[in-house]
Amino acid sequence: MSSLIDLMCHIIDFRKRLDLDYPTIPLTELLLEKMQIVQINEKDIKDSIVLLREHPIGAGDNETLNVSYVAKLLSQDWGFYYTATTNLAKTRSFVEKYDRLQSGDVSDVQKKIDELQAAIDSEPKSVSWKMRAQIGPSKKWYRDVQEQRPVF
């Protein structure tokens, strides 16, 4: 069995969004792929910074990080929300230390992270999200990533 989902800590359903930025996946999914990593590393944080620096955030998908889609997705899954918002905070901290960015770039990325976080926080949460939030991180909230080789 080999699938992208088995290589991710949280499930991101690409099926309805694959045609939005053919022949690749939308920018929003690129950011979500980074933000879903429970043990995020410096490379993934740098990739996230570049995405945030080079693209606007907004309500659409055309060369834009779709903040509405992110907020809605994370309002349905507390575990993904917890991982993503933790990683956004890590990215916000790291951007200050990333010496290749000019001060305007740093403030631009931080502003976008703040806007993303505000949208995520203001999105109404599902009942299952609220129930899972009561448990918090004391119970495992993510899938273990399994390295799998393709079966041909």
**Domain residue ranges of the chain, discontinuous segments joined by +:** 4-138
The CB density around residue 96, as the number of other CB atoms within 10 Å, is: 13
In eight-state DSSP terms, residue 27 is H
- ∠ CA 113-101-115 to the nearest 5 degrees? 10
Report the DSSP pairing between strands 65-66 and 57-58.
Answer: parallel
The per-residue pLDDT string of the chain (152 residues; one tens digit each, 9 = 90 and over) reads 333 434 577 777 767 776 766 667 788 999 999 999 999 999 999 999 999 999 999 998 888 999 999 999 999 999 999 999 999 999 999 998 888 888 899 999 999 999 999 999 999 999 999 999 999 999 999 988 765 444 44
Residue 12 vs residues 68, 96, 100, 132: alpha-carbon distances, Å: 15, 29, 31, 19
